[in-house]
A and B are shown apart, each in its own frame.
Chain A
Amino acid sequence: MTADATPALVEDRQTAAGPRVRERSAYPRYLAGKVAGAAVSLLAVLVTSFFLFRLIPGDPVKTMTGGRQVSAEQLAAYREEFGLDLPLWRQFTDYSGKALTGDFGTSYQFRAPVVDKITEALPNTLLLTGTAFVLYTALGIFLGTRSAWRRGGLGDRVNTGLALTLYSIPSFWLGLLLIIVLSVGIGPLPGLFPTGGMESGGEEGFAYVLDVAHHLVLPVVTLVAVEYGQTLLVTRSALLDEMGSDYLTTARAKGLRDDLVRRRHAVPNALLPTVTLIFINLGRTVAGVILVETVFSWPGLGGLFYQALSVPDLPLVQGLFFVFAAAVILMNTLADLVYPLLDPRVAR
C-alpha cells in the first residue's frame, strides 16, 4: 500500500471525465500536445532526480572508498573520474547531455553502467508487476461490475467491504503474514511456497518457468490483494453512474433483456473511464512495488533503489528515480492517447 492509494481514489473523478476531443481531425494535434507534455515532464524529472539526491548528506567518494586509507590526491582523482570535481551546473549539463543519449553514468558501488544495472533488474520487476496487474485489473473489473449490478445486495456489501479492508492493509504486513502462513507454515500446515527470491537457481527450460511461477505466487497474491480494491470501486461507481443514463432506460424500455443491456451497453461504456485508471495504475505499481520486493527479496528495481540510496550511489539512484517517474508519465500519456480513440462520444 502506498501513500498515493487514497488520493488516487479521489482522483478518478477527474480522470473519469477524461480528456475530451471534439473532432476526430483534432486528434493529431491533441496527440502532439500530449507527447510534448510528457517530454516536458520527463525533462522535469531529470532535473529533479539530479538535484534532489544531491541533498543527501554524504560525500559519495568518501563512502565509496570506505574506511580505506585514501590520500587527498586519490580522492580528487576519484572525484574527477566521476565528474564530481566540476561545478554543479557543469555536472548537471554533462549528466543531462549524456542522459539524453541513454547514458546514465556509472554506478559507484557496482562500477558498472547504470543502464546495465537497470536493465538487469527491470525484467524482474515487470514480470512481477505485469502479472499482478493483469490479475488485479481483471478481478477488479469483474467484481466491480457484479457489485454495481447488484448494488446494495449482500454480494455488493461483502465485495466493497472486503475491497476497502484489503485496501487499508499495509502491503508489507500482508506479505509478512503470507510468508508466515503459506511459506514458513503454521502448525500442521507445511510451507507451500518459497520464502523469497525469484528462482532456485540451476533450473532449465520448463522447470525454470515453473520455478519462477512458484516464486511468483505470494508476491503476486499480495499485490493483487491490496491493489484490486481500487479498480473494483472505480468500476463500480463508473457503472453506477452509467446506469442512471437515459439510453440505458431507453434500451430497457425497448424490452431488451436486462443482462444484454448490461453486457452490450452499460459495461463497455462504464469501462471507458476505468481505462485511464488502469494505465495509471500500471505506472504506479512499478514504483509502488518497492515494498513487496523488499519483503519477498525479489531482485527488482525496488531492492536496487533501496540499496543505492544507502550509499548514496547517486548515478544509480538518479537513474532509478527517472525510470520510476518515467513509468508513471508514460502510462499517463498512453491513457490520454488511448482514451479518445475508445470513447465513441468523442467521434461527434
Chain B
Amino acid sequence: MTTSTGTGTGPRALARQRRRASVARFWRQYRAERAGLYGLAVLALCALLALFAPLFVGSDVSSVTDAPGRPMQSPSAEFPLGTDQFGRDLLGLVIWGSRVSLLVGLLAAVLSVAIGTLIGVTAGHFKGWYATVMMRVTDWFLVMPTLVLAIALATVMSRSLTTTVIAIGVTTWPTTARLVRAQTLAVETRPYIERAKALGGGHWHIMSRHVLPNVMPLVLAQTTLIISSAILAEATLAFLGLGDPTVVSWGGLLQDAREAGAVSAGDWWYLVPPGIAIAVVALAFTLCGRAVEAVLNPRLGVSR
C-alpha cells in the first residue's frame, strides 16, 4: 500500500479514495442513529477513563497494605462509593477495574472475531470438503452451551487473564464464522472477482484484497456486539471464581463483595457500582453494534 502513495491517480489510490468516501458515508448514516451515538459517547468516556486511570487514581489504589480506609465503610465524602473489605477506595477500584474488564472484553472479542473471520472467509472461498468440514465444526460449536464450555475451559487451564480471554474467544466465534461465510459467498459471485481470478489472482490475493475489505463492515458490527457479551462473560467467569484473583476487574469486585458477605450485610454500595459499570459498558457496545447493523442493513430497522 505504501508504494502507491506517490502516484495519486493509480488504481490503488482510487480504491483508497473510494474507501474513504464510504467511511464518510458510513459516519453520516451512523450519526443519524441516536442510540448509537449515545453508546459511542459513553464508550469514549469509558475509554478515556480507563486510559488515564493511572493519572488520577494511581496504581497503588489496589494495594492492600496501604489501604486508606477501614474495611467496608459506607459511602462518605472521603470515599464516595465506600471501601472494600481491605479498606480500599471502591471508586478508585471501579475505575481501575475498567482497565482489565475492557481489555479482556476487547481481546476476547478480537480473538473471537479473528477466528470467526478466518474460518468464515476460508470456508466461503475454498468450497469443497474443507468448507464442509469447517462448517460442520462451526455448527457443532454453535450448539455447544457457551457458558458451560467456557467454564470448562477456564477450569482446564490455570487462572489468568489469558485463560479468560481464550475461554471466551474460543467459545463465541461460530456466529461470526457463519455470517462472514455467507457474506464471502455473496461477494465471490460478483463479476470483478471473476475478473480477478481470470487475471490470475491467487487465493491469498482474492481473500485479502477483495473479500476481506467487503466483509470488514460486518466484522466491525460483529466485534462491537461480541465485546458486549465478552465483557459480561468476563464478569461471569470472575464471579464464578474462575478469574485471576490478583487483578482488579469488575466481575472480580462482585465476586469479592459476595465472598465478603456484602449481600446479606446489605452493603449495596459494594455491589451496585461494579454491576452498573458492567451493564453500562455492555449496553453501550450493544447500542453501537446495533447502530452499525442498522446502517449496513437498513431493512432490519432495529433502532427506529
- Report which A residues bind B (CB closer than 8 A): 1-11, 13-14, 41, 44-45, 48, 52-53, 55-57, 151-152, 160-161, 164-165, 167-170, 172-174, 176-177, 179-180, 184, 186, 233, 237, 240-241, 244, 284, 286-288, 290-291, 294, 305-306, 309, 312, 317, 321, 324-325, 327-329, 332
Contact = CB atoms under 8 A, between A and B. Distances in A.
A152 B304 contact: yes
A170 B147 contact: no
Contacts of A56: 155-156
Contacts of A10: 175, 179, 222, 225, 293
Nearest to B152: A52
Given A164-B287, A169-B279, A321 B152 contact: yes
The 7 closest A-B CB pairs, nearest first, are A287-B145, A3-B233, A4-B146, A7-B175, A173-B275, A168-B282, A168-B283
Contact of B268 (A1, A161, A180): A180
B286 interface: yes
B248 interface: no
B175 A306 contact: no
Interface in B241-290: 251, 254, 258, 263-264, 266, 268, 271-272, 274-275, 278-280, 282-283, 286-287, 289-290
B123 interface: no
22 contacts: A2-B232, A4-B172, A4-B229, A6-B226, A6-B286, A7-B174, A7-B176, A8-B175, A11-B142, A41-B143, A160-B303, A167-B286, A172-B254, A173-B274, A173-B279, A174-B275, A240-B301, A287-B148, A291-B240, A305-B151, A317-B152, A321-B148
Q: Is the interface of A mostly helix, strand, loop or mixed?
A: helix
A2 B271 CA distance: 19
B225 A324 contact: no
A170 B232 contact: yes
A270 to B, nearest CB: 13
A3 B232 contact: yes
Contacts of A55: 156
Interface in B7-63: 35
B49 to A, nearest CB: 18
Interface residues of B, number: 63
B161 interface: no
Contact of B283 (A14, A164, A233, A312): A164
Contacts of B282: 168-169
Interface in B141-168: 142-148, 150-152, 155-156, 168
Contact of A151 (B35, B155, B301): B301
B279 A165 contact: yes
Contact of B266 (A170, A180, A287, A309): A180
B145 A173 contact: no
Contact of A186 (B142, B168, B266): B266
B230 interface: yes
A328 B301 CA distance: 29
Nearest to A5: B229
A179 B155 contact: no
Nearest to B34: A157
A7 B156 contact: no
Contacts of A170: 232, 235-236, 239, 251, 254, 275, 278-279
